[in-house]
């Protein structure tokens, strides 16, 4: 990840858009990175630009206001010429150990974009240190979005952090229950077919499976099954490994963002509850 301030802190401004005759187009504006003169996004008149600096500063202010930790690490990544940003705050002194040697740290991730592809968002989860695999709670520790037409609430972000931290520690019992909950490979394959490996079709009533994706997911399941046992915990970690390891994709950062959303939805689906 890029943790240099210069990577995410660059000058931007809102500029008018002109038609072929040189006349301004009312109701639209461009967000321009002025150090490169690159257009990062085109938006309507209600759009409020939220700079990366403001996002990072508001999140660090929220950490201070939440008063939950004195040992945390900030990392920030920008992609696509600065159009998208992802930041992570890892709380080194907020640790849970659902099994001996299986250590997890509380983490808050946040997102921003200038191209409109992502709202400003804040997500709390756990980072499993066994393989630096990001784990997301099936009950959801907290994911909040703010549209770029609204103002960012530092107080709201701090409150979310405190609530999410309580959920993080309460989830220790949940993770232990998942370790004790036995499932077999047939159940796992059916679960994947109905969630992460389900292929979108024009005819939504007809279900189709992405066979390549299914094969990849089942491979990860068998790896975690050998290490953790044939249980819900192994499935959970296979899914979160899939969501956080996207190095082979064309756009790793964007793929990770999409997969994390898919895993979060799968963990909250009726299919997960039926396992």
Q: For 171-228, give the secondary structure using H, E and C.
A: HHHHHHHHHHCECCHHHHHHHHHHCCCEECCCCCCCCEECHHHHHHHHHHHHHHHHHH
Q: Which residue has the tokens 């520690």?
A: 169
Residue 239 and residue 263: Cα distance in Å, rounded? Answer: 7
Cβ atoms within 10 A of the Cβ of 57, count? 14
- pLDDT, residue 1, reads 39
- pLDDT, residue 132, reads 63
The upper half-sphere exposure of residue 131, i.e. CA atoms within 13 Å in the direction of its Cβ, equals 13
- pLDDT, residue 2, reads 39
pTM, whole model, 2 decimals? 0.78
SS3 165: helix
- pLDDT, residue 152, reads 59
The length of the chain, given as a count of residues: 275
Cβ atoms within 10 A of the Cβ of 83, count? 20
The answer to whether the beta carbons of residues 29 and 45 sit under 8 Å apart is yes
- pLDDT, residue 169, reads 80
C-alpha 2 chain-centroid distance:
17
Q: What is the pLDDT along the chain (275 residues), one digit of tens a residue?
A: 334 456 899 999 999 999 888 888 999 999 999 999 999 999 998 888 889 998 898 888 888 888 888 899 999 999 999 999 999 999 999 988 888 778 888 888 899 999 998 888 888 888 887 666 666 655 455 567 667 666 656 567 777 778 888 878 877 888 899 999 999 999 999 999 999 999 876 665 667 899 999 999 999 999 999 989 999 999 999 998 999 889 888 888 889 889 988 998 898 899 999 99
Residue 74 and residue 20: Cα distance in Å, rounded? Answer: 45
């Amino acid at each position: 990840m890029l943790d240099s301030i210069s990577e995410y802190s660059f000058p931007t401004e809102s500029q008018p858009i002109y038609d072929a005759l040189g006349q301004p187009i009312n109701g639209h504006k461009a967000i321009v990175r002025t150090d490169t003169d690159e257009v990062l996004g085109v938006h309507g008149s209600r759009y409020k630009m939220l700079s990366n600096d403001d996002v990072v500063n508001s999140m660090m202010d929220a950490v201070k206001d939440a008063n939950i930790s004195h040992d945390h690490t900030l990392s920030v990544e920008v992609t696509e010429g600065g159009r998208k940003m992802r930041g992570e705050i890892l709380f080194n002194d907020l640790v849970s150990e659902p099994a001996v040697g299986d250590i997890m740290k509380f983490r808050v991730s946040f997102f921003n974009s200038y191209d409109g592809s992502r709202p400003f968002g804040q997500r709390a989860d756990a980072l499993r240190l066994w393989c630096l695999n990001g784990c997301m709670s099936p009950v959801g520790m907290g994911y909040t979005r703010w549209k770029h037409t609204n103002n960012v609430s530092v107080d709201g972000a701090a409150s979310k952090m405190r609530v999410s931290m309580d959920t993080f520690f309460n989830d220790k019992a949940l993770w232990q229950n998942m370790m004790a909950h036995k499932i077999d490979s047939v159940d796992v394959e059916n679960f994947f077919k109905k969630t992460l490996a389900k292929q979108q079709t024009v005819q939504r009533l007809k279900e189709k499976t992405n066979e390549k994706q299914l094969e990849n997911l089942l491979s990860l399941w068998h790896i975690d099954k050998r290490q953790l046992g044939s249980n819900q915990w192994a499935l959970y970690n296979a899914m979160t490994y899939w969501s956080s390891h996207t190095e082979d994709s064309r756009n790793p950062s964007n793929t990770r963002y999409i997969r994390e959303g898919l895993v979060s939805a799968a963990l909250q689906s009726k299919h997960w509850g039926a396992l």
